[in-house]
Chains A and B, each alone.
Chain A
Amino acid sequence: MSVRLHPEVRNELIQFGIGDWNACYHCGTCTSICPLSEEGFLFPRKKIRLMQMGLKDQLESSVEPWLCYYCGDCSKTCPRDANPGELMMSLRRYLTSKYDWTGLSKKFYTSELWELGFILVFAALVVISFLVILPSMGYHFTRELTAEGGVQVNAFAPIKIVEPFDLMMAFVVASLLISNILRMYYKIIWKNSKTKVSLWVHVREFWNLIFHFAVQPKFSKCDDKRYWLSHWLLMSGYTIMFILIMVFLPWFQTEKIHPIWHPQRILGYYATIGLLFGLGVAIVGRIQRKDIKFQFSHVSDWLFIMMLTLTATTGILVHIFRITGMPMATYISYIAHMSVLVPMILIEVPFSKWSHLAYRPFAVYFTQLKKYAVPK
Chain B
Amino acid sequence: MEKQEPTGVFFYNPKDTIPDPIDYSELEAYALKYTAVKQVWQYNDFVWNEGSLSTIIESNQIERVVLAGAVPGIVKTLFSKILSLAGKDPDKVILASFNEHGIRKSSDLPRAKAVLACAICDIPYEIAALPDEFPSSPATLVIGGGIAGIQASLEIANSNNLVYLVEKSGTIGGKMATFDKTFPTLDCAACILTPKMVEVNQNPNIKLMSYCEVLDVTGTPGNFSVKVLKKARKVNVSTCIGCGTCAEKCPAQAPSEFDAGTAMRKAIYIPFPQAVPNKYLIDAESCIYIKNGKCKACVKACPVPDCINLDEQDQEVTLQVGNIIVATGYKVFDAKRMPQFGYGVFPNVLTSLEFERLLNASGPTGGNITVRTQDKKGNWIFGPDSERPESLAIIHCIGSRDKNYNKYCSRVCCMYSLKFAHLILDKLPDAQVFEYFIDMRSFGKGYEEFYERIKEEGVSIIRGKSAKVEEKNGKLQVRGEDILLSTIIENQVDMVILSVGLEPSEDTEKLCNILGIPQSEGGWMEESNYNTNPTGTIKGGVLIAGTCQGPKDIPDTVAQGSAAAARVIQSILKGKVGGDIDTLPLENIEHRINELTPIQS
Given A33-B340, A33-B467, residue A28 in contact with residue B483 (CB < 8 A) = yes
Of the residues B404, B438, B468, B487, contact of A27 by C-beta under 8 Å: B438
Q: Is the CB of B488 within 8 A of A31?
A: yes
Given A42-B487, A45-B481, A46-B486, residue A29 in contact with residue B403 (CB < 8 A) = no
Determine the chain B residues whose CB is within 8 A of the CB of A45 once the complex forms: 481, 483
Q: Is the CB of A39 within 8 A of B397?
A: no
B510 to chain A: closest CB distance in Å? 29
In the bound assembly, the distance between CA atoms of A31 and B468 in angstroms comes to 11
| 1/0 contact string of A216-259 vs chain B (CB within 8 Å) | 00000000000000000000000000000000000000000000
In the bound assembly, the distance between CA atoms of A77 and B465 in angstroms comes to 12
Determine the chain A residues whose CB is within 8 A of the CB of B486 once the complex forms: 42, 46
Determine the chain B residues whose CB is within 8 A of the CB of A46 once the complex forms: 486
**Would you list which residues of chain A between 14 and 67 have a CB under 8 Å from chain B?**
25-33, 37-39, 42, 45-46
Of the residues B438, B465, B466, B481, contact of A42 by C-beta under 8 Å: B481
Determine the chain B residues whose CB is within 8 A of the CB of A31 once the complex forms: 467, 481, 488
| 1/0 contact string of A78-89 vs chain B (CB within 8 Å) | 111100000000
Determine the chain A residues whose CB is within 8 A of the CB of B402 once the complex forms: 79-80
Q: Is the CB of B403 within 8 A of A27?
A: no
Q: Is the CB of B488 within 8 A of A32?
A: yes
| 1/0 contact string of B390-431 vs chain A (CB within 8 Å) | 000000010001111100000000000000000000000000
Determine the chain B residues whose CB is within 8 A of the CB of A39 once the complex forms: 487-488
Determine the chain A residues whose CB is within 8 A of the CB of B138 once the complex forms: none
Determine the chain A residues whose CB is within 8 A of the CB of B466 once the complex forms: 29, 32
Indicate whether B439 reaches chain A with its CB closer than 8 angstroms: yes
B479 closest partner in A (C-beta): A32
Determine the chain B residues whose CB is within 8 A of the CB of A27 once the complex forms: 397, 438, 464-465, 483
Determine the chain B residues whose CB is within 8 A of the CB of A29 once the complex forms: 465-467, 481
Indicate whether B356 reaches chain A with its CB closer than 8 angstroms: no
Q: Is the CB of B401 within 8 A of A79?
A: yes
**Would you list which residues of chain B between 327 and 366 have a CB under 8 Å from chain A?**
340
Indicate whether B550 reaches chain A with its CB closer than 8 angstroms: no
A29 closest partner in B (C-beta): B467
B403 closest partner in A (C-beta): A81
Determine the chain B residues whose CB is within 8 A of the CB of A26 once the complex forms: 438, 464, 483
In the bound assembly, the distance between CA atoms of A286 and B227 in angstroms comes to 55
Determine the chain A residues whose CB is within 8 A of the CB of B467 once the complex forms: 28-33, 77
| 1/0 contact string of B434-445 vs chain A (CB within 8 Å) | 000011000000
B468 closest partner in A (C-beta): A33
Q: Is the CB of B464 within 8 A of A28?
A: yes
In the bound assembly, the distance between CA atoms of A275 and B405 in angstroms comes to 40
In the bound assembly, the distance between CA atoms of A32 and B485 in angstroms comes to 13
B490 closest partner in A (C-beta): A32
Indicate whether B480 reaches chain A with its CB closer than 8 angstroms: yes
Of the residues A33, A38, A79, contact of B404 by C-beta under 8 Å: A79
In the bound assembly, the distance between CA atoms of A184 and B482 in angstroms comes to 29
Determine the chain A residues whose CB is within 8 A of the CB of B403 once the complex forms: 78-81
A88 to chain B: closest CB distance in Å? 16
Determine the chain A residues whose CB is within 8 A of the CB of B465 once the complex forms: 27-29, 79
Given A33-B340, A42-B481, A79-B403, residue A25 in contact with residue B438 (CB < 8 A) = yes
A63 to chain B: closest CB distance in Å? 15
Q: Is the CB of B401 within 8 A of A32?
A: no
Determine the chain A residues whose CB is within 8 A of the CB of B488 once the complex forms: 31-32, 37-39, 42
| 1/0 contact string of A188-210 vs chain B (CB within 8 Å) | 00000000000000000000000
A40 closest partner in B (C-beta): B487
In the bound assembly, the distance between CA atoms of A202 and B467 in angstroms comes to 36
Determine the chain A residues whose CB is within 8 A of the CB of B404 once the complex forms: 77, 79, 81
Determine the chain A residues whose CB is within 8 A of the CB of B468 once the complex forms: 32-33
Interchain residue pairs with CB less than 8 A apart (8): A29-B481, A31-B467, A32-B480, A42-B487, A77-B340, A77-B404, A79-B402, A80-B402
Q: Which A-B residue pairs are the 7 nearest by beta carbons?
A: A28-B481, A28-B464, A79-B402, A32-B467, A33-B467, A27-B465, A31-B481
Residues of B that sit less than 8 Å from A by CB: 340, 397, 401-405, 438-439, 464-468, 479-483, 486-488
- Given A29-B466, A79-B404, 4 more A-B residue pairs with CB atoms under 8 Å apart are A27-B465, A31-B467, A37-B488, A46-B486
